[in-house]
Structure 1
Amino acid sequence: MQRIMNSGMIQSVLLRRLSKRIRFCKMLNHKEIVEKFIKMYIVICNKLEECYDQMIQPQKRRLIRKILDYTLARVLELKHELVEIDLSEYNYYDDVLVKYKILPQEVELNIPRYFRRERESEIHQRREFISSILKNIGALNEVILPKKITELDAIKLIQMHERARQGRVRFQFMKEIREMKEKSTIKPESMQVEIVKEIAASLKIQKVWRGYITRQKMKKKRFEEMLLIGMIQPSQIITENYRIADKVKQARYLKQLEFQQLHEKMVMETQEFLKVEKTTIMEENMRCEIRCWINEYFQQTGKIPELPSADSGGSRLIISRQGTESSLSKSKESSSSKESKRSKKSKSKKESDTEKSEDDSDPGIKIILSNALPELIQAHTEYQDIWRGKDESVNPWQLPYSDMILAQKTRELEDEVRLKVDQTLRDDIEALQLALDRDKGHKGKRAKKIPKRVRRSGKKNKRKKEKDLTPDRTIDSLIEELTTEGIIKLLPEIYLSNFKGEKSFVNYELWQDKKDPFPTIGDVRQLVAEYCILPLGNDELRQLTPLVRSVLIAGPRGSGKKMLVHAICTELGATFFDISPSTIAGKYPGKSGLIMLLHLIGKVSRLLQPSVIFMDDAEKPFVKKVPKTDKSDPKRLKKDLPKLIKSLTNEDRVIIIGTSHSPWDCDQKLLYQTYDKVIYIPRPDYGTMSMLWKDLLYKYSGINRQFDTSAMAKICDGFTVGEVIRTIDEVMTTKRMVQLRVQPLTHVELINALSTHNPVYREEEEAFMAWYLKTPMCRKKQRAVEMELQKLAEANEKQKKKGKN
């Protein structure tokens, strides 16, 4: 673990150099940005996540958490910049992977496990509360949670079956004894004949058994050899090594909690000790230092000085300067400093002129100032100052360091005491000034009130204060009301890794040939993580990363849209709100009811954040003509849904996700004004389908590893992932799983079951392609290509004219 930590920190040194270079560089090449995005950030981010997950030292873990969060924020910033540069939501960089020998799986951002693990008790309590409400109203039949058996219950169950087996064996044994007693009356000659027959039978059984055992051993050796050279798909059965590794991880998690509690206890004890023992001494020392400085200043200038404000540092600013520079030397040095400033300005002007000329010659990409880089550099310097050269051989158990806690709490106590001392001495200085003015004969003037400084933050999208329509109600009552109405729902736990799919291996070449390739399932999975999961991980990430309020996920039926929404909620431990037209039909009627519904959703989603507000059939609110058969009033949220989305700010860990299987059936302008990002899930390619068949079939131990899954992948061209999963579930019943050893699985069974499902027909796929090419990002790219072609044509015309002249 120490080796992993050191490797991660060595790369963080490179990260610091890179961050400085990007921060101060005005123009960069696209390839440079991609290389740094892949090699320097994503690889480091995944290693830092592993370090934070397995490290047990509490003080070091806190610093690693900071670096991890800021690195994640920087990755997401660069992702948005690359989207604007490439004019595509998907970025392909196979040349960088080949250059640095990185696997495609290594550059896929891992979702930090602490998003969910550190809130496990909170998530469990919330699910229990919602499930209890659903049980009371009798609506828990919609979600059937799998029953988990404990280790003790499993042992009792095995013991019960073992006792039953022993009883059956005992019964058979007693039955054989009775039969032997009955046969004891037989003559001895017949007994010898029977013994000879039994010996011959036993020899025959031994011969057959030895042959069977030998064949099984040879088969096992052949299988291991084929597995070694990669000719057979490995089994997904969990081995003992995986169990041991899992036990080690769980033990580390327990140690993390134990050491965290120990650290908090040591902090409280140190804080109490310092307050009792050191507070009065600190106050006296500070007062003496400040009074001495006031006396010296009064003797030199004849005036009583003013203490700096608390925002600028207070008396700490004076004491830090004291002894280094005298008041007389300051006036002498000021003239020299002015001259040096003038020379620096002239140099900077010359440099800026040279930079302008370089910028004109080198057409690069302007880098936007980052919010995460300053914080990342500060966290890195903290690591360099504290942990870089620290000898940890004295602390092999990685316990908290008491000296670091003492130093930190001493600084905090000094700051608190300094504020109090500065305030009291400011009053004393005012009194002394008034007394001095009276002695000199000046009339006492009223001190001017210092105007309050208005803090101007650079953050946009601040939320306006809304009137609370339910001030007297508790949050539990609001949750209960929304749950009984079916708006808050309990979802099955599905992780993003269960959304199987390969990344694209051809799209880079198509992109180089100036073609606009469609994404693959692996690209969609990564994009969902970057837009919907990682920015909502914690408050700091949400504030540092670019704001994505809403996402539209479109694709044919069975492509996995709802599975992605379930995965987002599971990875974040988010609360799920369903505002689909079919869900809210007939609920909260009238204009006042709609206002109350939106107020409840906005209020509860912010209180229970992170939250996901979901809308199925996202095109229905913007349909031009509502069918007569549709009585759900889908246009009810047409005006209010954009308002709800615009009310979300960087302070809210809330995202609105819509899904649609026919997004072209509505007003496209209103749809794109509502949703910030559009994600299209295409039908799976051959690589994804082959991977899917292997993963789904080989989890059954009775299926031969030489089963031809490539044939099934070719046959399934045009089918979605959902249809393949349903086909396998229909075929692999419990009865069929028992029969696998006697009757192996055949392709005919799967093909017959698959033929009953509908594929994605060509007309539907063409409709999706036509719609996707008209999305805002694709249109923007088309406009950029047209402008480039127009510039090339103009340049060619100018050259032709010059040639004629």
Structure 2
Amino acid sequence: MSHVTYNKMWAEAQEGLNNLLQTETEDKSPKPLKDHPIVFQMLATFYVKYVQIFHNLETAYDQIVHPQKRLVIRQVLEGVMGRILELKNEMVELENSEFHYFDDILQDQKLCPEHIEIPIPRYFIKEKLKVLKEREKILAQILVNAGLQDIEPKKHIKVMTFEEAIRIIQISERARQGRLRAEFMKQIYLEEKRERQARLHSGKSPNLDASAVCIQKVWRGYIQMKRTEKIREEEMIFLGMSPPPHFHRISASLMQAQRVEAMRCEVQEKHEEEYKKALVAIKNRLREMEGPDIKESLQEQIRQWFIECRLPPQNQGSLELVSVIKDEFRHITGKFPDYPDEEDGGSIVIFSQKTPEQVAAELAAKEEELQKKSKDKGKKGKKEKEKKKKGKEKGKEKQEKKANEEKEGWKMAPSNFLPIMEEGNNWYKDVWQHREEGWNFHQEYDPELVKEEKRKEVKEEIRVQVDELMRQELKNLKLAVDREKDKKKRSGKKDKVSHAGLVIPPAQFLTQKWGYNLLTSRSGTKTRTKSFAVEDYIKNARTIDSLYKELVEGGLLIKPKTVKLSDYVGEYSYLGTTLRQVDIEPMPSLADVRQLIALYGILPLGSQALHEKSPLVKALLLAGPAGVGKKMLVHALCTETGANLFNLSASNIAGKYPGKSGLQMLLNMVFKVAKQLQPSVVWIGNTEKTFYKKVPKAEKEMEPKRLKKNLPKILKSLKAEDRVLIVGTTTRPFDADLRPFCKVYKKIILIPRPDYASRFALWKHIILQNGGSLSKSPTISCLAKMSDGFTQGHIIYAAQTILSERRIRQLNRKPLTAVELMGALARQDPVYKEEEDMFKAWYAKTPLGKARAKALMEESGVQTRACAQCPDVHTVQRENGLQRRHQADEAFQRLADKITAAEQSKAKVYVVLANFQLFFQQKSITTKKIETLGMYVQKKSSKYSEAIFLLKNCQVKVQRDSRQYENP
């Protein structure tokens, strides 16, 4: 695409952002809202619109080559990302749930689920690509030197018993003998057949016509079979039920678009380098050309200020009276003014359009403040004790305020990113919205804008130099005119000086982040603890390179696998809002999990400004059954942000750095390197072992609870400027002690097994990825249905096991069947309902789960009280139920009639069923009717098994609704 296209995309995004900012800032003191559904709808609408703007801005920033435009886009882009995180945090606090569903908003705004997918900004990796490549080289070199490069992770090998081995040998031997016997019998049969044919045709002459007819029959049958297959395939492609042959090929236009994007990136880098060179060159030119004039002008203005402060009002501005100042005139302020310090702004204070009296008053007020501060230092100790007593009272007051706010209603929290977006939006309006760029076809930097920017910097640099000169000139003037001595000015910040004259740094530099303090004795002497000596050694004697090397050699810093977040395949939940409206809590989909990883992990780690101002997430827990992709998401976090990956799993640190001092040294090394080389991800696999209620005997030697006491201290030491994220993964969270577990991991993402839509997408993706073909592959819908209960890991294992190199070569003559894949899948254990219920029960005990359950109970209590106040509510419910059942029966009859009319076309039957799918979920249909229709469809063709499954899924809802009608 051209420059104009991306400029239009940017302009549209800015226009949408401008409308949103007007909506958000038009009412500065909004009234509290009590209706939570309305509040959530408002927040969700804002969220969806901001995500759309995020898409356009990210694409524009990646493809626009003008360096000065990209500065504006970058500021607005980071503001939009931060605002999305703030809105997500507001929705979580409002709904008490990490997962939210926007299917109703998408339907209203006619959008697709792809429009609200959080994009990963490409500049996270592009802007530090050289650094990442250099780091990969260093890591690879360390691994080669340590002899660890060629070591591959051990594959899990199932232990075989002696009886199983004998049985396998017997099966193989019997199969070999059976093949030999079959081959021998085949040879005997063929020999006998040849003898019979020879006896039959011994006395007859060959009939050429009969032979020709036989050949024609076979050939025509073969040709007709091929024609029928081709017609059937064309029909399926036309109906959209099979992809066309060229669907998965890379088209020429797509390859051309990719080449253009790569060329634009090269031009972008070239223009960026030219812009950086121009910044230096234009600044030097301005310093040479305009510097002397600026210096002279500043000096004249400052001298004029000296005279105005000294002369009486009627003679201000007269420069000829300088010689008679001493004897004839009395100055207004009583003396020559004190020159403002550089900390106070220097001559900027003079040029702030204030009278001499105002300037003198400001300087005097600042001196008084400094004196007050020095007096108040002695009183701080007494005040701190009083504050501690009042702290508990304030905590109670805050809780009461929160309770009152909940009663009053909801208010939007103040935003850290709205001012950033407003500033960027104003910058766009003032500079770029109506700027004429007909001359700049190649979209290079604009020199006039550079001059405006650098002129300010040159003026500031010259002002600092002029301040030094004029300070000395004022000193000489005072000595010459007033015979005054220059007073010593108090410095704002002084270092403490000990009795021996040594400079003692402030206390915060001596207190270490990991809880190491200086022990002060009564006599005033200070001694170091052993732990402080350990950290002091690591901090001063060890370099980052040596620590990095030691961690790599120890297996604590590992190389992440190259996995993108988009490789985590999963579909969107299309009925989340609908199910919640009928008080059914839907299980989150894999697309929802992917969104949370992007919001809580990738965006904050990728941007420093975003991490400092957005809601802080220090630790993240990924919980779910084995095989749902928890480790893959950890590696995707590192790949998308270029982060280092540290492995502090209990099994990995077992036997390393023993003892308390060794553990302290280990943690100090890990987090020092993590902070210096940020962003960093600290992964703790099987993190439930760290919080075991009771350690199993088999794992006591491993000491799995080593990190339990240190993790809370580490979290406290992590500040907003530290882009370090602790990620824990667990398959058995219910084995951990819940209270300390949730104290460390305040953000918990429960990853479920894939639903039908996700399995459907996953099977297609895995078959194609492993060399299979969809045109001749088994029915994907059948595989998705039959693999219910299995995780992504099971599906990938089954596909990789079947689609070997030998099997891929046979696909043309022997298409892949569902039986093969299901055979490999059946050899694995699925996620049973009992295990899934254990995860749900555990999550309901977490703080967020308890809060949501409490909110739902309160909401149901309000509805119950409202029903109790209505005298005829039961009668109304019963009448409404009977009316709904009558409507459903009529709709069912219409459906049956349409299927009967469309029985000649299978595609039409599928269309009819799809049209009635949503109606079935909203209206109740009797179980008997569903079974009747299922039997009817089943008789027509076995191809309709998917439709039968869809209808039978409504039985649970029908039974519940039937009970509600009978006993409302």
> What TM-score, normalized to structure 1?
0.80
Tell me, yes or no, if structure 1 residue 469 matches structure 2 residue 543.
no
Cα displacement string for residues 265-297 of structure 1 (whole angstroms, at most 9, x for unaligned residues): 111211222333333322111111222233234
Shift in CA distance, 426/101, structure 1 to aligned 2, threshold 3 Å: farther
SS at match of 1:752: helix
SS at match of 2:706: helix
Q: CA separation in 1, counterparts of 2:341 and 2:230?
A: 80
Shift in CA distance, 137/256, structure 1 to aligned 2, threshold 3 Å: same
- 2:623–2:750: 8 Å Cα contact kept in structure 1? yes
Residue 572 of structure 1 corresponds to 641
Tell me, yes or no, if structure 1 residue 653 matches structure 2 residue 658.
no
Stretch deviating more after TM superposition (284-293 or 234-243): 234-243
1:507: how far off?
1.5
Stretch deviating more after TM superposition (542-551 or 790-799): 790-799
SS at match of 2:682: strand
1:75: how far off?
0.8
Cα displacement string for residues 663-714 of structure 1 (whole angstroms, at most 9, x for unaligned residues): 0001100100111200111111111111111222245464426741001111
Shift in CA distance, 220/450, structure 1 to aligned 2, threshold 3 Å: farther
Tell me, yes or no, if structure 1 residue 87 matches structure 2 residue 96.
yes
Tell me, yes or no, if structure 1 residue 687 matches structure 2 residue 697.
no
Structure (1 or 2) with the larger CA radius of gyration: 2
Q: CA separation in 1, counterparts of 2:405 and 2:635?
A: 50
Shift in CA distance, 219/752, structure 1 to aligned 2, threshold 3 Å: closer
- 1:69–1:541: 8 Å Cα contact kept in structure 2? yes
Counterpart of 1:118 in structure 2: which amino acid?
E
Tell me, yes or no, if structure 1 residue 782 matches structure 2 residue 860.
no
1:643: how far off?
1.4
Shift in CA distance, 398/22, structure 1 to aligned 2, threshold 3 Å: farther
- 2:45–2:105: 8 Å Cα contact kept in structure 1? no
1:429: how far off?
4.1
Q: CA separation in 1, counterparts of 2:494 and 2:415?
A: 26
1:607: how far off?
1.3
1:223: how far off?
5.7
Tell me, yes or no, if structure 1 residue 506 matches structure 2 residue 551.
no
1:783: how far off?
2.5
Residue 355 of structure 1 corresponds to none
Q: CA separation in 2, counterparts of 1:366 and 1:115?
A: 34
- 1:287–1:421: 8 Å Cα contact kept in structure 2? yes
1:34: how far off?
2.3
SS at match of 1:656: strand
1:22-41 correspondence runs (5 A): 25=30, 27=32, 29-31=38-40, 33-41=42-50
Residue 738 of structure 2 corresponds to 668
- 1:520–1:682: 8 Å Cα contact kept in structure 2? yes
Residue 150 of structure 1 corresponds to none
Shift in CA distance, 799/449, structure 1 to aligned 2, threshold 3 Å: farther
Residue 230 of structure 1 corresponds to 240
Q: CA separation in 1, counterparts of 2:27 and 2:94?
A: 16
Shift in CA distance, 383/213, structure 1 to aligned 2, threshold 3 Å: farther
Shift in CA distance, 241/224, structure 1 to aligned 2, threshold 3 Å: farther
Residue 761 of structure 1 corresponds to 832
Cα displacement string for residues 26-51 of structure 1 (whole angstroms, at most 9, x for unaligned residues): 54651453254234311101110000
Shift in CA distance, 533/453, structure 1 to aligned 2, threshold 3 Å: farther
Tell me, yes or no, if structure 1 residue 321 matches structure 2 residue 353.
yes
Shift in CA distance, 24/59, structure 1 to aligned 2, threshold 3 Å: farther
Match of 1:20 among 4, 19, 25: 25
Counterpart of 1:54 in structure 2: which amino acid?
Q
Match of 2:656 among 587, 593, 606: 587
Residue 196 of structure 2 corresponds to none
1:513: how far off?
2.6
- 1:469–1:599: 8 Å Cα contact kept in structure 2? no
1:113: how far off?
0.7
Stretch deviating more after TM superposition (15-24 or 244-253): 15-24
Shift in CA distance, 224/296, structure 1 to aligned 2, threshold 3 Å: farther
Counterpart of 1:16 in structure 2: which amino acid?
L
Q: CA separation in 2, counterparts of 1:624 and 1:705?
A: 53
Match of 2:291 among 276, 279, 289: 279
- 1:236–1:698: 8 Å Cα contact kept in structure 2? no
Counterpart of 1:252 in structure 2: which amino acid?
R
1:15: how far off?
3.5
Shift in CA distance, 363/107, structure 1 to aligned 2, threshold 3 Å: farther
Q: CA separation in 1, counterparts of 2:456 and 2:851?
A: 54
Residue 65 of structure 2 corresponds to 56
Tell me, yes or no, if structure 1 residue 120 matches structure 2 residue 120.
no
- 2:47–2:87: 8 Å Cα contact kept in structure 1? no
Shift in CA distance, 92/263, structure 1 to aligned 2, threshold 3 Å: same
Q: CA separation in 1, counterparts of 2:101 and 2:27?
A: 21
Shift in CA distance, 755/790, structure 1 to aligned 2, threshold 3 Å: closer
> What TM-score, normalized to structure 2?
0.67
SS at match of 1:576: strand
Shift in CA distance, 317/19, structure 1 to aligned 2, threshold 3 Å: farther
Q: CA separation in 1, counterparts of 2:430 and 2:99?
A: 39
1:617-766 correspondence runs (5 A): 617-630=686-699, 631-699=701-769, 700=771, 702-704=773-775, 707-766=778-837
1:235-634 correspondence runs (5 A): 235-301=247-313, 302-303=331-332, 304-305=336-337, 310=342, 314-316=346-348, 318-319=350-351, 321=353, 364-429=409-474, 432=477, 438=483, 446=487, 449=490, 451-452=492-493, 464=513, 467-470=535-538, 471-630=540-699, 631-634=701-704
Stretch deviating more after TM superposition (673-682 or 790-799): 790-799
1:222: how far off?
7.7
Match of 2:81 among 69, 72, 76: 72
Unaligned regions of 5+ residues in structure 1, if any?
Answer: 145-203, 329-358, 455-461, 801-805
SS at match of 2:684: strand
Shift in CA distance, 6/312, structure 1 to aligned 2, threshold 3 Å: farther
Cα displacement string for residues 524-565 of structure 1 (whole angstroms, at most 9, x for unaligned residues): 110111001111112111111111000010010101000000
Tell me, yes or no, if structure 1 residue 772 matches structure 2 residue 781.
no
Counterpart of 2:698 in structure 1: which amino acid?
T
Q: CA separation in 2, counterparts of 1:256 and 1:446?
A: 56
Q: CA separation in 2, counterparts of 1:95 and 1:691?
A: 23
Higher relative contact order (CA 8 A, sep 6+): 1
1:212: how far off?
8.2
1:16: how far off?
3.0
Shift in CA distance, 789/220, structure 1 to aligned 2, threshold 3 Å: closer
- 2:309–2:356: 8 Å Cα contact kept in structure 1? no
1:493: how far off?
0.1
Q: CA separation in 1, counterparts of 2:863 and 2:662?
A: 58
Residue 96 of structure 1 corresponds to 105
Shift in CA distance, 793/743, structure 1 to aligned 2, threshold 3 Å: closer
SS at match of 1:486: coil
Identity over aligned residues, as a percent?
A: 37
Stretch deviating more after TM superposition (697-706 or 775-784): 697-706
Cα displacement string for residues 14-70 of structure 1 (whole angstroms, at most 9, x for unaligned residues): 233234237654546514532542343111011100000111111111211111111
Counterpart of 2:134 in structure 1: which amino acid?
Q
Cα displacement string for residues 199-248 of structure 1 (whole angstroms, at most 9, x for unaligned residues): xxxxx9xxx99x989979x9889867754653324633322222211111
Residue 384 of structure 2 corresponds to none
Counterpart of 1:681 in structure 2: which amino acid?
I
1:492: how far off?
1.6
Tell me, yes or no, if structure 1 residue 2 matches structure 2 residue 7.
yes
1:781: how far off?
1.6
Q: CA separation in 2, counterparts of 1:23 and 1:115?
A: 35
Residue 338 of structure 1 corresponds to none
Q: How many residues align?
A: 696
Q: CA separation in 2, counterparts of 1:574 and 1:236?
A: 33
1:368: how far off?
1.2
Cα displacement string for residues 770-794 of structure 1 (whole angstroms, at most 9, x for unaligned residues): 1111121011122233445566778
- 1:463–1:649: 8 Å Cα contact kept in structure 2? no
